[in-house]
Structures are given as structure tokens and as C-alpha cells.
Amino acid sequence: MTIDTVILDIEGTTTPLTFVHDVLFPFIRKDLNNYLNSYYETYELQNDIKTLYNLYLEDIRDAAGETVIDIPKVLNPEDSSNTKQDVIKSVAANILYQMDRDRKSTALKQFQGHMWKVGYDSTILKGVVYDDVPKSFARWRDANVKMYIYSSGSIAAQKLLFNFSTHGSLIPFLSGHFDTTIGSKLESSSYTSILNAINKSPDSCLFVTDSIFEAKAAYKAGLHVCLSLRPGNNPINDPDFSLFKNVSSFEQLFDKFEFK
């Protein structure tokens, strides 16, 4: 069946891993305490802290019975016995703890997205995408193919990257965004939920990712799947690798798949 919908991962697919790991993550680490102090009184940050606090409570419940619980405690900002600096110190420790473990929690990604917005708004950050991405976006648009993003990064962070990209705003090309609020990228049910949300059948959709585990989950849900083998991506050593087509550039997708 002809493909009329493309769902794209970000890291290692539209955007180099180096941008995320060498630019976005270091930005958080470097300016974390300054950001927490400068924006502490805002509704947005207060809400992020409450979300992190609730995640901490969930982590503690999930870890019940274990001998050692090393998750840094997030202090409740609504508890008057906790000072501003104590709360900030606890939040910073928890954020770094999650980042050190490459955690994909919605609470962490939400916080990062709001902090990155400051960087994009001040032009310190510019979203990097591969040169073939905007060209392929234009080809898909001209062929009436819908494009969606599905990333572990928050929807807000996704929109910032594509709106403030090195090729200008790419947001007009995209029909929608999905993050882990719809489910883990490693679960086939998440892809089914996306299909239901966009009212598409799996055999009309292509998912492109650099992760073999995400590829397997999408494949199980019935989608066409292609692996992104961009230069600098992590090597894939998996017996199921041969199940999937692979490309090193989006332009190669047009030779391997038939689009509407």
C-alpha cells in the first residue's frame, strides 16, 4: 500500500546525536542553578517542580522494600518548612540524577523543554537538522504526505527545535507531535495509540528511527519501519536488523518506499 503518513524520531533521525548530547544536555547542566533561581517564582517552573516532586513520590512507592533508594529527594515547594534554596538544591540534584541515567521521564522532559525555550528565545540555541530533512519535508508536502514527530523529548521541546532550526521554521511542514505522554516508544501500544489519534491504518504509515527497539515496537503495531543509520549514530548489533530497510539520508527513503 502507498504510504501517506510519515512518523519521525528526532535523535539520530532528523537531528545529529551530537546536537542533543553536546549542545542541549550541556546547556541544562551549565545553566541549571541560574535558571532555577531566576524563574523560581514563575507558575511554569513551580508546576514543573510539583511534577518532579510527584514523580519522586511515585519512584519511592515503586522502590518500596528495596534496601537502598538513591533517588535524590525533591522537596515539596508548597511545604512552608522548605526554603527556596533547599527546594532548588533538591530539584537540581534530581534533574542531574535523571540525566546521568538518560531517563525518559515525562517530568524531566517537560522541565528540559521549558529551560531550552529560554535558550532558543535568547538565540543561544539553534535547532540542528540534517540538510536533507527540509528538502524531504518539501517533497512529502508536495505529495500530500502527512508528517508527524514522535520523540521522547517533550512536545514543547520538539516544536522549539523545528521552529528555531538551522534551516528556518519547519513547523509548517508538520501535522502534529507526540511524546511519551502517549506511551513509551518501546511499547507497540504507543504506536497503535498514535494511529488512532491521527485516524490512520498502520499499512499507510512509515516510522523512521535510529533505535532497533523502537523499530521492533512499531513493526509489531503493523507500521512500515525504516532504520536511520546516520553518520555518528550508535551501531546496531541485533539479530532482527535484517527485518528492516535502512537509510543514511531521507532522500534514500524515496527510492525504498512508495509515497502518495
| 151 annotated to bind ligand | yes
| 86 annotated to bind ligand | no
pLDDT at res. 211: 97
pTM (2 decimals)? 0.88
| 210 annotated to bind ligand | yes
| 184 annotated to bind ligand | no
CATH of the domain spanning 21-121, picked from 3.40.50.300, 3.30.2350.10, 1.10.720.60, 3.30.413.10: 1.10.720.60
| DSSP state at residue 179 | -
Is the distance from CB of 230 to CB of 209 less than 8 angstroms? no
pLDDT at res. 171: 98
**How far is it, in rounded angstroms, from Cα 117 to Cα 142?**
31
**How far is it, in rounded angstroms, from Cα 238 to Cα 235?**
10
| 122 annotated to bind ligand | no
| 214 annotated to bind ligand | no
**How far is it, in rounded angstroms, from Cα 41 to Cα 76?**
14
Q: Which residue has the cell 497503535?
A: 192
pLDDT at res. 260: 84
Q: Quick one: angle between helices 106-121 and 155-163, nearest 10? A: 30
**How far is it, in rounded angstroms, from Cα 109 to Cα 11?**
14
pLDDT at res. 65: 54
Phi, psi of 225 (to 5 degrees): -135, 140
Domain chopping of the chain, boundaries = 5-16+128-256, 21-121
| Average pLDDT, 10 consecutive residues per value, the chain (260 residues) | 94 96 96 97 97 93 63 92 96 96 92 96 96 98 98 94 97 97 96 98 98 98 98 94 96 95
Looking at the domain 5-16+128-256, which fold is it? Answer: Rossmann fold (3.40.50)
